[in-house]
């Protein structure tokens, strides 16, 4: 059995997969591996076909018009779900808004929007932007914050020494220790 979290950390995040795939597979972890022995489709979702999807969408818009192409890669049901998930990208706050007003920029209310914005913001972090991104992300629930910080540290390990990282880990640690 493939570990969803290990695959995300060891492959998708480390290899720099498109943030839409990372966000989607956090939202729908069972869609990483959807093999069914009695299926009649010629393909199924698995780590290899998600790698194909990564190459198909890298730097391109995910559009409903290409659902057939995606279905030939990750199966029709998952392709439709992925396209619908990606449609929220136009509704999430952009990086400029978050950086200019991390406390005032709205947090998406729906789960797909939250997964998408967290994965999107973990791309392109710099030492200068990290503090403001932490302020914004700390307004999210635990699952979303964990994804953000885990992704940030895998992509930018030098940020472990950033004071905002230490503060965020302290907050997460306090939260985790009070709920067990």
Residue 119's pLDDT band (cuts 50, 70, 90) = confident
Q: What is the distance in angstroms between the CA of the first residue and the CA of the last residue of the chain?
A: 28
**Phi (first) and psi of residue 171, to 5 degrees:** -65, -45
Q: Average pLDDT, whole number, for the chain?
A: 88
CA distance 73 to 4: 19
Could you read off the pLDDT of 1-48 as tens digits, one per residue? 678 889 988 999 889 999 999 999 999 999 999 766 566 556 778 999
Residue 66's pLDDT band (cuts 50, 70, 90) = very high
CA distance 9 to 12: 6
Considering the entire predicted model, what is its pTM? 0.82
Domain borders along the chain are 4-90, 93-178
Neighbours of 66 (CB within 10 A): 15
């Amino acid at each position: 059995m493939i570990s969803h979290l290990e695959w995300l950390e060891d492959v998708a995040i480390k290899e720099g997969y498109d943030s839409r795939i990372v966000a989607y597979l956090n939202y729908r972890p069972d869609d990483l591996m959807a093999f069914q022995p009695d299926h009649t489709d010629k393909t199924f979702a698995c780590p290899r076909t998600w790698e194909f999807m990564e190459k198909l969408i890298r730097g391109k818009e995910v559009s409903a018009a290409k659902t057939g192409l995606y279905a030939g890669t990750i199966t029709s049901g998952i392709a439709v779900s992925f396209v619908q998930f990606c449609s929220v990208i136009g509704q999430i706050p952009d990086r400029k808004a978050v950086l200019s007003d991390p406390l005032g920029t709205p947090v998406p209310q729906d789960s797909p929007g939250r997964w998408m914005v967290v994965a999107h913001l973990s791309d392109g972090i710099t030492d200068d932007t990290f503090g403001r991104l932490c302020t914004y992300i700390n307004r999210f629930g635990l699952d979303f914050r964990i994804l953000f910080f885990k992704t940030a540290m895998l992509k930018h390990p030098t940020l472990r020494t950033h004071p905002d990282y230490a503060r965020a880990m302290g907050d997460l640690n306090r939260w985790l220790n009070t709920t067990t």
